[in-house]
Amino acid sequence: MSPQSVRNLVILGATGSIGVSTLDVVARHPERFAVFALSAHRQIGRLFEQCLQFAPQFAVVAAQDDARDLQQRLREAGSRTEVLAGEAALADVASDERADVVMAAIVGAAGLLPTLAAARAGKRVLLANKEALVLGGALFMDAVRAGGGSLLPIDSEHNAVFQALPADYARCPDSAGVRRIVLTASGGPFREWPLEALAGVTPEQACAHPNWVMGRKISVDSATMMNKGLEVIEAHWLFGALVDRIDVVVHPQSVIHSMVEYVDGSVVAQLGNPDMRTPIAHALGFPERIEAGVTSLDLCQVARLSFEEPDFSRFPCLALAYDALREGGAAPAVLNAANEEAVAAFLAGRLGFTQIAAVIAATLERANGLSVESAQAILDTDRSARTLARESIRQRETQ
């Protein structure tokens, strides 16, 4: 490979679970990728280590104080990385003309603006931050088209669907003959718990996912199955699929990462060990295949693949997400904001596990007149919905 083809990579959310897995893949291919910028919210120690190992031109953190400390530590260690602070700096590095590929791996709505900036600037955007698409799907997909770059899904289900679709799907989706998209779901740690035990679930229990090691917010989302709900909305925007053509099937082994069914009855699936380095390497190398460090799938060891219908009474969050997508408009953004607030309150020990869905439902009921027409409208909607959700959480705290 010629030196010109080295691609400059920005990782938004480098210190998180997806960020660390991305750097693991990147370290295997120094001839292909140079790290241009890394970002972290508060994990300054980890970001420091990453800067020493990958020597990015820029490191971005949230607070000025942290930036000053990190800059000093890096200088003392002989590093030439320049440290920036704040949201605008995130958008700046994500849209810098020297950057080619942007991994969007910030968790939650905080990832929206820098990811949007990368899309507008025509970057290859590798999207892990599903909340950005749930909040502002139409705006985001328009930005990708207007920017002329590309969008590759990192979420394992959507990456699987992308791999199972024909290569020219984005150009002519109608002639592809897709009947439906089937997203697989592990069902999380509480799939078989007695329903009456769910009210007492602790954050530690909710974060102990049977198959995947992930950040705390997405782990709770997996336990409530809101994660699958957000993924239904994500699939709608990524693949232009109507809500009634996106199904969810519970598949506890997490070996089939998702499927596409065609009109002739063919069902094409992508399989592999549950390791996020596979979709990350797929998107980093696309259209080439590159080594990810993932072990071969041993089907005889897996032995059995099983499937069941999702239980909407056990997982009301999944039903709320389908309803929000059917309602359209600002409903998915309200759903996302209320979920982020409710999950944060649950993780802080202020809200019961089964109250998460109740807070989201109450917020959806009370929110009206909100819009997602522009980036500013989305941010306003997000803020209003969070205010409503916090009120609902406070009421439940005092009960």
Instruction: Could you list the residues known to form a binding site, using ranges.
Output: 15-18, 42, 129-131, 155-157, 186, 209, 215, 222, 227-228, 231
Per DSSP, 290 falls in state: -
Nearer CB in complex with Mg ion: 109/375: 109
Kindly state the smallest distance separating residue 115's Cβ from ligand NAD, in Å: 10
Output 323-329 pairs: Cβ under 8 A, ≥24 positions apart. 323/364, 324/229, 324/233, 324/364, 325/232, 325/233, 325/236, 325/243, 326/243, 329/370, 329/371, 329/372
Residues recorded for the chain: 399
Nearer CB in complex with ligand NAD: 13/188: 13
Q: Could you say which of ligand NAD, Mg ion, none residue 62 binds, taking C-beta under 5 to 8 angstroms by partner kind?
A: ligand NAD
Kindly state the smallest distance separating residue 106's Cβ from ligand NAD, in Å: 4
Torsion of CA 191, 342, 331, 183, to 10 degrees: -30
- Strands 267-271 and 33-39 come out as unpaired
Binding of Mg ion by 234 (CB under 5 A): no
102 close to 116: Cβ distance less than 8 angstroms = no
List contacts with ligand NAD (CB under 6 A). Answer: 13-19, 40-41, 43, 62, 105-107, 110, 128-131, 155, 212, 214-215, 217-218, 276
With a CB cutoff of 8 Å and minimum separation 6, the contacts of 291 are: 28, 29, 281
Binding residue ranges for Mn(2+): 155, 157, 231
Binding of Mg ion by 155 (CB under 5 A): yes
Binding of Mg ion by 131 (CB under 5 A): no
- Give the C-alpha distances (Å, rounded to integers) separating 398 from 350, 394, 395: 10, 6, 6
Q: Could you say which of Mg ion, ligand NAD, none residue 40 binds, taking C-beta under 5 to 8 angstroms by partner kind?
A: ligand NAD
Kindly state the smallest distance separating residue 87's Cβ from ligand NAD, in Å: 7
- Residue span binding Mg ion (CB under 5 A) among the ranges 60-68, 147-155, 238-246, 317-325: 147-155
Nearer CB in complex with ligand NAD: 188/362: 188
Nearer CB in complex with ligand NAD: 343/362: 343
Nearer CB in complex with Mg ion: 18/357: 18
- Residue span binding Mg ion (CB under 5 A) among the ranges 153-161, 201-209, 252-260, 360-368: 153-161
Laid out side by side, the sheet with 101-104 consists of 82-85, 58-61, 33-39, 7-12, 101-104, 124-127, 150-153
Kindly state the smallest distance separating residue 90's Cβ from ligand NAD, in Å: 7
Question: Which residues partner with 229 through β-bridges?
Answer: none
With residue 11 as reference, give the H or E element that holds it. strand 7-12
Q: Could you say which of Mg ion, ligand NAD, none residue 128 binds, taking C-beta under 5 to 8 angstroms by partner kind?
A: ligand NAD
List the alpha helices (DSSP H) in 28-111.
44-54, 64-76, 87-95
Both tokens assigned to 100: 């080619």
